[in-house]
Structure 1
Amino acid sequence: MSLSTLDDWSSTILQHDPMQLYRAKRDRNHRSVSSKYNILGFISSGTYGRVYKAQSLEDEGTIHAIKKFKPDKEGDVVMYTGISQSAIREIALNREIDHENIVALKEVILEDKSIYMVFEYAEHDFLQVIHHHSQTLRSPITLTVLKSLTYQLLNGLIYLHASHILHRDLKPANILITSSGIIKIGDLGLARLIHEPLQPLFAGDKVVVTIWYRAPELLMGAKHYTKAIDCWAVGCVVAELVSLRPIFKGEEAKLDSKKNVPFQRDQLLKIFEVIGTPDEKDWPGVVDMPEYQSMKRLDHFQNRLADWCNSRMRSPLAYDLLRQLFIYDPDARLTAKDALQHKWFQDDPKPTWKYVSIPSPSRLHIQASPSSSNTHLTNPPPLSQRIRISRTPPNPPAQTHHTRRSSVHGT
């Protein structure tokens, strides 16, 4: 076809279907997941999708974690209704952030009515390390490692909060760690963007934060909340790293038949048993909280956090850090930035940014058969065979506030 003929053909197409040339160009450039990655196996499944371990066919065999979003469901019928709001939100946030302690999104691939997010891969997460120390080693995490993990976690959270992002689901399983001891905050599926001047975020769509790490203002029915909910969760995570078990291990009350959010009596009791029952002096405005009348019917407890810390940490500075992260009043609770400046980190042994030896289990995954190609992307193994996910690496405590854009394929 001559150049003039091609131009005539293009002009005719544009007159009848202006989008056809765009679609033709898009399809020529489109590459499938299987053409770029070798799926090594299935790692985990969550609310919004499944995660697979994959090896790049181009980038010197680099290992990645690929998250595939689940399609929407109408009753028992799976339907493709386009890209969900939650997927758009997660992709948008991940594309705009770039920090050594936040898991990095490498690219997004759209294929066969499916969305794939390709992340860096990390060998472990906090939950695995906790289980390994409690079940296999039967020994506590060393103080140097504890400080290093906490310092990097706070460093990443400072970046998110400075970028006006609430994570809203910090817990050990979502805090990833490389074999060299570098922390990555992962899973921004529930994260939300807020703006300055700070306007509290309305919790109208769903209850946020896994129950054991949920801040008391959420448990008391607050409809608006701030960055303080993430700082409470950090306190819970640090306490769990210390004791190798959740500090506030309550039982979640489920939604009733009318989808009403129930009073989380057991979880509040677990908190009160350790840090005492709050009053107006501890928490100005608590009497106006939606669940205050329900709270008044609970047993009254004294603050025993000092005893809890003395039997596990034997450090007045460590106690003081947890005490300030567990302040009931969200406005008075320690911020991530102030927590990073706490004297506990300046006391010996200091946190290190060099290689940190962290005893942890070898990374396992469900292997894909050589002939299966991408069949494991749609057919995961039974739940009993599944292994939790983690992803990948960063560097020292520089508060880098730059942004980056990852590539998007198939759009």
Structure 2
Amino acid sequence: MTDDRRPHLLYVAWGYPPSRGSGVYRAWATANAFAAAGWDVTVLTVPREVFEMSTGVDLTLEARVDPSIRIVRIPFHSGAFTNDLRDWSWLRAHAPEVWNVLQARREQRSFPERAYGGWRPALEEAAVRIHRDHPVDLTIGTANPNVDFVPGYILSTEFGVPAVMDHRDAWSVDIYSGRRTVDPGSRAGAWERKLIGDAAEVWFVNQPIRDWYAQQYPDAAARFLVVENGYDEELVFPPRSRPDGEGLTFGYIGTISAAVPMQELVSGWALARRRSALVRAARMDLYGYLNHLGVPGANMVRSMDEFAENGIRYLGPVGRGEIARTYATFDALVLTFGAGRFITGGKVYEYASTGLPIISVHDPENETSRTLAEYPGWRGVSAMTAEAIADAFIATAEDAQKRSEADQRDARAFAARYSRTAQLAPRIQSWTSRVNTQPRDARGTR
């Protein structure tokens, strides 16, 4: 280093522990990884109460935040996350359609993002204050929401601090349909061009999203990188000990959103039970939150009537501290989510880290099919039909029945490439080298 001060990362994440949203694991792991690499890390996020009063919290994940990380929680106000009726205005209670239109306009006045745009002024003020108090060497904003990118832009344009945009999904493309969602001529399109034009790096979770953006912004494509989600090495899975005579257990852990093809999953499983004594003796345990606000979607409601007769149990969400023990109750894993070639799904890496057989019940065109193509013990469905799903369940059950400890070790060895360390280490090493070789100017920046 050129001086005795540790490099300082400002990490901006609306969804940070105790949030229990699916994207929170990337935010939690990235900040922890920089802290473990010797960086001072400041996280800029929202008050805990935002999650306590809306989406719910995962206190076991919050307990795993590196204690050296400084967390700055600044006010966030949005009607979308105000669920206490006592806080509703007369207009919202009596004319919700009118209120929604007016609220959307107010929220997007500062930044063109519904429900989150109004956070921009508080973010900018906090970022500048943090930098003046403890000079920032690198800003990473993780989205969505995309307003998380604004502090990096401000510190870059005003103080010369490099900024990284870390996309968990994508702003301009619907990852399910592949349809463009942002008009290039709109305010949102202008903001995206401005942010990408200024960013030192832009990270994407998979190659298809990165390539789509490269087509839209060819002049910036050299700064576009794939940093996959990965799994957390801290998860140590105790060995599965299935009593003699007990049937196999298939398991699913993840948010059960409206996009999950639950009816197809249940239909294929039921057909497999009729065709195979091995599957008929098995059960399927589903764990996870119901949608992002805890309310079951129509897909779940329609399917639950068939659960009991088909050996399916919904057992609720699992805290981060219970994940490893829950995986240890499974003999095989069920990976299912909505269709779309841009979808990888964060759980795919964690599933692979267990070394268990995996059945993928999703559109074969999903990017997950490429990720797991060479994983020992993976079965993808050839089509989203009951027949194809049943065939894959039967083959996966046969794999699980004969799975040896050596097979599981081989699968875990394959999955090592998808650890968060393997994904993040090259970027952390690169940025550590860059900031440590840049002299700091008189303002305290490098």
Does the TM-score normalized on the shorter chain lie above 0.5? no
Larger relative contact order, structure 1 or 2 (CA cutoff 8 Å, min sep 6) = 1
